Amino acid sequence: MNDKFIKKYSSMTGSSNTAYIEKLLPLIEEIKELKKKHNAVVLSHYYMTPELQIEEKEGGIADFVGDSLGLSVAATKTDADYIVFCGVKFMAETAFILNPKKTVLLPDDDAGCSLAESITGDDVIKLKSKYPGIPVIAYINTYAETKAECDVCCTSRNAIKIAKSFESKELIFIPDQFMGQNLAVKFATETDKKLILWSGTCEVHEQFRTNIESLTLANPGAELLLHWEVPQETVESTLKNNKGIVGSTSDILNYVENSKSREFILGSECDLGATLKGMYPDRQFITPCIMCRHMKLITLQKTLDALRSINTETEIKYKIKVDEPVLSKAYIPIKRMLDLS
């Protein structure tokens, strides 16, 4: 019996469903065996279900769990032959661009992103034509062909630092308009920079509107944890009368660590709540529990299936491919981001 996994899973979910957990354990053991056999690592995003977020040292399968920037950095440091990416397609593409000689597997090729799908490389070319000479910052939540037309990438964790690195007083920020609006408020107090925004949104975070306000009324004293991608009007109205933060996933985790509060309202993907519960079991995290349908396509069984496919005819089904010249062009803004981070 994998006691470490059971303990961690229970702390993250508040559940001790023994029958369900027992079904997971054989999958976990086979995944571990196949990782060793094929020299593979598993990178898992904070929005994955709890069983995918638990690290090997805690009885799980993940070699690294993190946000977009953390996963990007981890991808550059692995000596593995195979990277199994428990995230969505743009993340797996980024891992491949940084490791083109390695094989990157995505457990479900349909795991996309509404934000990444809101803009194309051709859209960026048109923007640059409309605003000649103005640098383009691409949020990491974009596909490779979009990144390839941009000057630099950023994540929610390093967006402000990246923007400040440019001398230009105007910057094009794509594709998340709500994140851009929230960053613009920050810039207004710290810089003289103006952001030109695209109209993309995250289908998860755009839903955090009146539900957050109602939760603050029902839970007076709870501190707010809002992601940059939450609508700016929600951020403005709720933080006006309540203590809390708007920032990246990493900012949220750091805020909770340093806060004296025991109760928090989370405005981000539901399973970040599971991450927080696992890290701070003595605190309460309240969330409308809005889930990313794309992230939830990745399961423990599909992760196992991807590993089973290695060196078989079905490996192509899971294999991430970015062709030249897109790969070389997309590498430049990603590398610039890492150098500036």
Pick the CATH number of 116-202 from 3.40.50.720, 3.40.50.10800, 2.60.40.3680, 3.40.50.150: 3.40.50.10800
- Name the CATH superfamily for 205-286: NadA-like (3.40.50.10800)
Encoding tokens for residue 35? 């990782």
Pick the CATH number of 3-111+295-321 from 3.90.180.10, 1.10.1060.10, 3.90.950.10, 3.40.50.10800: 3.40.50.10800
- Mean pLDDT per 10-residue section of the chain, whose length is 341 residues: 89 84 95 98 97 97 93 91 97 96 97 97 98 97 98 92 92 97 89 92 93 92 96 95 95 96 97 96 93 97 98 98 98 95 81
**Residue 171 and residue 266: Cα distance in Å, rounded?**
30
What are the residue boundaries of the structural domains of the chain, listed by start?
3-111+295-321, 116-202, 205-286
Check if the beta carbon of residue 164 is closer than 8 Å to that of residue 191.
yes
Q: For residue 156, what pLDDT is reported?
A: 86
Q: pTM of whole model > 0.85?
A: yes
Check if the beta carbon of residue 18 is closer than 8 Å to that of residue 59.
no
Q: For residue 189, what pLDDT is reported?
A: 84
Q: For residue 254, what pLDDT is reported?
A: 96
Question: Do 205-286 and 3-111+295-321 fall under one CATH topology?
Answer: yes
CA 314 to each of CA 241, 294, 317: distance values in angstroms, whole numbers, following the listed order:
54, 22, 6
Phi first, then psi, for residue 151 (nearest 5°) are -85, -40
Dmax (CA) for the chain in angstroms is: 62
- Rg of the chain over all Cα atoms, to the nearest angstrom: 20
